[in-house]
Chain A
């Protein structure tokens, strides 16, 4: 039991702590604002007019301020990449928290939607209250022009009202286009609607300028509930309904001393607090986008294009001023960097048609043909969880199909030298549907295997290839791929057995598990890492996904 808890804590504790801190800060903010507006003396008259709607709308607004500022920070990917690489984040726990930046962005986004709903409902109630409880005593407090004005007119003719409606519409568009199925099926809809965020923030800045809610400035000279000298109690409240009259009379009776107002109440707009919350993250994000745009504006030169089996194309490119570091998709030639793309979906099909025009059937197009290539722009490099492979003593890389590409970079780096890293043992588990898929990196795997055997480290690299297509018996026919054919297994991998085996060989060690594959595999591996309790080994789960 203790071991299971240890595994769970190693994988989940930091994330859950971060969420608990975020929830605590939000709750504290909500409660503090609620208390301020329900019992603060400067809001006494406003609270009398609007009631609970005022407190809830302002409290939800403060939580919205927090989340609107936090939601931008996880999307500053270049800054996160720099943070990941510097010495500042020495702790692996902190770097693993950075892996969850997209999840945190989603959490903040969902809370923005939820609190927007609360905020809108509360303000609708406020609009009705402004209309029904029109105050004749304090005309400066009113938003309505006369008693009983249609609340819909109030919403559509005030700046906060109309900007609020537009904000809700933009949020609705962004939210409905962000679901998982839309992102997978039609990424462009998600991308273009999500870029409406800049409009959202501009209108948000205008939304808070309207200043419909005012606070009282002279609380010391006009304490709330004091008696005005030129008016009696009964006449001052005849115009409003009965409830405030009895309330105020009761309050007056309870008050130890009844004060007389020295002057009339003065009201003033708030300073827009949202500007203080939102400006800094927004400027940071805009600076980051500008930097990425400038960095990505130089087109890359396509050096060669190779067609691989099973709809994969390899692009080797050259970018001036960029030299691929170890682990950044390097190729044999240090100047160029290469990527493998699987052709699935309309964008990649379009790219494939542009790179391989129907007339040209040759597999490798040399550099002199590059004028027929499309102009390509590359954004990056960005940090990924797979960078941590070298920082564990033992690492397990699980790849599904084309998900092997991050680990191909790792293997390529090891080909250049393995002794300078902390990594002492690497397990590569690659699951594919077709045998042809293994040919994408068969050469790389065999080269590394031979190199390690030559250097007397046969236990460094453990390759397991799984072929899930069980229609006919297949194997590698080439002689040079003999190391792979002896490590090829037919059928789906049994993860529990594999983990048991790895645990036995690496007792009392921390093993890093890196998964890049379909959701079903990653879910199962995550569960296994959280609940593994044999042989004192702790498996730390890291996931990399392409979407």
Chain B
């Protein structure tokens, strides 16, 4: 196997488990099931995980696949600096967030899935990966090239108008005299 980027897979898993956690939390609170406080925590944790995981990281090598509209999330996540770019922190954060979900039936699945995502993040951190923001490529301002030199200031040299006008009786003198010598192509 070549160089696998575990973080990409962990990111997909964490986003999916955030959604599962959120759904389980909503079911628990809406149904007023036993232990609905854990479900309420599940909703908050699910939303937080989704927001954190939405922006994809920049790949070490290769093309980046951004999620639609992820730029604003990237800016927010980038603002936290090493807290979000270090995957050890993320692994432990997800592990901590998933524990309360295990105490309530509706959020058990979210807990297990987030736990798995946390393990994959740990593996990514051990392999030395870290989160890098995908910033839009700023195009260098297209400067007008200097190939266009100063346009000519003066019109080309011409004899005065009455000399230029062709006279029918005197075709020889009406011929235009070239100021520069013209030689035939050899």
A positions within 8 Å CB-CB of B: 120-121, 124, 127-128, 151-152, 155, 165, 168-169, 172-173, 175-177, 179-182, 184-186, 188-189, 345-347, 350
Contacts and interface: CB of A to CB of B under 8 A. Distances in A.
Given A124-B105, A181-B56, A346 B12 contact: no
B112 A169 contact: yes
A182 B13 contact: no
Contact of A173 (B27, B106, B109, B116): B116
B105 A172 contact: no
A186 B4 contact: yes
21 contacts: A124-B105, A128-B33, A128-B105, A152-B105, A165-B112, A169-B112, A169-B113, A172-B116, A173-B116, A176-B13, A177-B9, A177-B12, A181-B12, A181-B56, A182-B9, A185-B5, A185-B8, A186-B5, A188-B1, A188-B4, A189-B9
Contact of A121 (B27, B62, B113): B27
Contacts of A177: 9, 12
Nearest to A121: B27
Contacts of B59: 185
A151 B109 contact: no
B109 A120 contact: yes
B108 interface: yes
B9 to A, nearest CB: 5
A120 B16 CA distance: 16
B8 A182 contact: yes
A161 B106 CA distance: 14
Nearest to A168: B109
B105 A151 contact: yes
Interface in B1-56: 1-5, 8-9, 12-13, 16-17, 27, 33, 56
B80 interface: no
B2 A346 contact: yes
Sort chain B's interface into a size bin. Answer: 20 to 34
B103 to A, nearest CB: 9
Contacts of B65: 180-181, 184-185
A345 B2 CA distance: 9
Q: Majority SS of interface residues in chain A?
A: helix
Contacts of B8: 181-182, 185-186, 189
A185 B62 contact: yes
Interface of B: 1-5, 8-9, 12-13, 16-17, 27, 33, 56, 59, 62, 65, 105-106, 108-109, 112-113, 116
B131 to A, nearest CB: 15
B21 to A, nearest CB: 12
List 9 A-B pairs, minimum CB-CB distance, nearest first. A346-B2, A181-B65, A176-B12, A176-B13, A188-B1, A186-B4, A189-B9, A176-B16, A151-B105
B105 A179 contact: no
Nearest to B5: A186
Contacts of A181: 8, 12, 56, 65
A124 B2 CA distance: 41
A472 B112 CA distance: 57
Contacts of B56: 181
B105 A188 contact: no
Contacts of A172: 13, 16-17, 113, 116
A225 B3 CA distance: 66
Contacts of B27: 121
A182 B62 CA distance: 12
Nearest to A192: B1
B112 A186 contact: no
Select the residue from A121, A128, A181, A189 with max chain B CB neighbours within 10 A. Answer: A181
A124 B17 CA distance: 18
A40 to B, nearest CB: 27
Contacts of A121: 27
A169 B112 CA distance: 8
Nearest to B102: A152
A347 B62 CA distance: 14
